[in-house]
Each structure stands twice: as C-alpha cells, then as structure tokens.
C-alpha cells in the first residue's frame, strides 16, 4: 500500500508506453516458456509538485552477458551474431528507449545475470496534474482570448507532424536514430548522405518542397557549411529555408561559423530532439508564408 493516493500526472504517454512495451517485448522474447515476466509500477515520492515514478520490467529469461550490458544502449547492438538469427530484431529499441527517457530527464538502470534473468528499471519524475488539468499551465492555449496568439506558447505546442525535413547526415546510425525519433512525431524526412547530395536534392525539389534542413557539418565530398553556402546561393524563392547545423563541435567558433555561412543556428550533438523541434518551430512560425 502506498502512503498517498494514486494521482494523475502530466507526461508523454505515447513515448513512455513505447519504452515500456520495448522492455516487455524483449523480456517475453528472451524468456523461454515456463519463465516469468513481471511488470511493476510504483509511485515513489512527491517532491516539488512532481511525482517520482518507478517502472520495472523483470524477467527470468536468458539474461545478458556482463560485457554486453555496457553496450546495450548503443544503436544496432545485439549480444552476438546469433541473436538476430534466433530472436530477430534490430538492436535499435534500447537506443531509442534510452533517448526517450533521457529527454524526459529520467534514467534507466539495467541489472542482469546470465541464465537467471534481467531487470530494466525506469525512473522518471512527472508534474502532478492539478484537478482536471491535462496540460501544464505553460502549455495552455489561450487563443480564444482577444490578446492574440502568444508566440512562445505556439513554439511550445509546435510538433514536427507533417514537417518535411531534408536531413544531411553521412553516418548511417545517426541518420537512422534521427529519422526514427522525428518520424515518430509525424515528420517526413528525406536523407542526403553528404553535402553535395543535400544541395542536389534541395535544388531538384519543388519550391517549398521542404520546410527545414538539418545539416551535419563533417561530411565527405562537401561539408555542411559549404552545402549551406551553395543552397543560399540558389536563385529560388525558398533558398532562405531554415537550415540548422548539427555537429559534435560545440565550440563557439563553430557556432559562429554556422551563422556566418547563413545557417539559422547550430544544434550540438548528441542531438536533443526537443531542441530540434523548438528551433524548427521558431523558424517556421517566424516565416508563416512558408
């Protein structure tokens, strides 16, 4: 028994469900018949208007080798070559789960013993809903008020649903993760494998065929900065399309260089997709004609 009532919280139900389903389906997949899978939800404590939650998925399956545990959240990692053969899968589920939980400022703890079983525990804290509240105060839509639309709120409410993005990324793993996460939100993504291809794809696309470009900087053939310069030089009405650099180089000079070549901003890697959504939202809401 808990020492407080069950309370309603505000959070991204869809994503949290996706994480838990990934853990449960793995637990079922890696546990032979006769074994057990137990799922526990626990309200831990309430602090500063937030409810700290624990969600645990425990199985009595084959377990995970200790040397693999440190790699389990890396994209496309499976324990060994026979895993895909026996159990299928892509090794992407854990990387995505980890990304989602990190975006919620939560954490995942894994404990496993080979031959005995595995336990995944997710800790997240979510704002407690007041009364009938279903969205936090800051998300509330006051567009019925005569004051007009508050841009900050519009940006907060902005989603990538239906947004057409040209993603220039040479690294397959980074591209796959970026596409998976943004497509989950409804974004329509086309990928270029280097700067040259990005310029070509943009140049060959119909006017306003893309809403934004996400551009890795270090790419073969033509880097992201050079590609941005080429795109800005094109004599087409949408050559001012929002372009954001995505790079592990978070040095001030790199950020400044991104702006100097005409990009709209510089997003540091590892990419925070809330930031991507917000930056694209700001750029598109500033240019409503797009």
Residues in contact with ligand ADP by the rule CB under 6 A: 22, 26-27, 30, 59, 61-62, 64, 72, 78-79, 83, 89-94, 118
* Paired tokens of 73: 């959240």
Q: Which is nearer to ligand ADP, 69 or 239 (CB)?
A: 69
Q: Terminal CA-to-CA distance of the chain, rounded, Å?
A: 55
Q: How far is the CB of 191 from ligand ADP (least distance, A)?
A: 21
Cβ atoms within 10 Å of 151's Cβ, excluding its own: 12
Q: How far is the CB of 26 from ligand ADP (least distance, A)?
A: 3
Q: Which is nearer to ligand ADP, 72 or 104 (CB)?
A: 72
* Paired tokens of 265: 């901003």
290 CB burial (10 A radius; 0-12, 13-18, 19+): middle
Q: Which is nearer to ligand ADP, 2 or 38 (CB)?
A: 38
Distances from the Cα of 244 to the Cα of 217, 241, 278, 279, angstroms: 10, 10, 12, 8
Longest dimension (CA), the chain: 68
Give the separation between CA 194 and CA 226, rounded to whole angstroms: 11
Q: Which is nearer to ligand ADP, 72 or 212 (CB)?
A: 72
100 CB burial (10 A radius; 0-12, 13-18, 19+): buried
Q: How far is the CB of 25 from ligand ADP (least distance, A)?
A: 8
DSSP string, 62-123: S---HHHHTTTTSTT--SSHHHHHHH---S-HHHHHHHHHHHTT-EEEEEEETTTEEEEEEE
Q: How far is the CB of 92 from ligand ADP (least distance, A)?
A: 6
Q: Nearest-CB residue to ligand ADP?
A: 89
Q: Which is nearer to ligand ADP, 177 or 222 (CB)?
A: 177
Q: Which is nearer to ligand ADP, 83 or 133 (CB)?
A: 83
Q: How far is the CB of 81 from ligand ADP (least distance, A)?
A: 11
Q: How far is the CB of 113 from ligand ADP (least distance, A)?
A: 11
């Amino acid at each position: 028994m808990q020492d407080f009532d069950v309370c309603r919280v505000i959070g991204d139900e869809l994503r949290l469900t996706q994480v838990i389903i990934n853990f449960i389906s793995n637990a079922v997949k890696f546990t032979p018949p006769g074994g057990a899978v137990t799922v526990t939800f626990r309200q831990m404590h309430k602090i500063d208007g937030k409810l700290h939650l624990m969600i645990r998925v425990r199985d009595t399956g084959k377990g995970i080798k200790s040397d693999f545990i440190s790699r389990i959240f890396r994209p496309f990692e499976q324990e060994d070559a026979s895993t895909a053969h026996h159990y299928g899968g892509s090794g992407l589920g854990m990387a995505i789960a980890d990304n989602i939980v990190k975006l919620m400022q939560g954490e995942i703890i894994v404990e496993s013993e080979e031959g005995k079983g595995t336990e995944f525990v997710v800790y997240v804290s979510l704002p407690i809903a007041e009364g009938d509240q279903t969205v936090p105060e800051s998300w509330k839509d006051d567009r019925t008020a005569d004051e007009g639309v508050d841009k900050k709120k519009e940006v907060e409410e902005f989603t990538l649903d239906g947004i057409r993005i040209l993603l220039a990324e040479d690294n397959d793993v980074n591209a796959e993760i970026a596409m998976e996460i943004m497509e989950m939100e409804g974004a329509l993504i086309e990928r270029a494998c280097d700067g040259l291809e990005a310029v070509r794809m943009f140049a060959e696309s119909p006017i306003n065929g893309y809403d934004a470009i996400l551009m890795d900087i270090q790419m073969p053939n033509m880097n992201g900065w050079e590609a941005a310069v080429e795109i800005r030089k094109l004599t087409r009405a949408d050559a001012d399309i929002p372009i954001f650099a995505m790079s592990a180089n978070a040095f001030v000079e790199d950020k400044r260089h991104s702006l100097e070549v005409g990009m709209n901003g510089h997003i540091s890697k590892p990419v925070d997709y809330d930031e991507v959504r917000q930056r694209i939202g700001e750029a598109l809401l500033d240019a409503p004609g797009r």
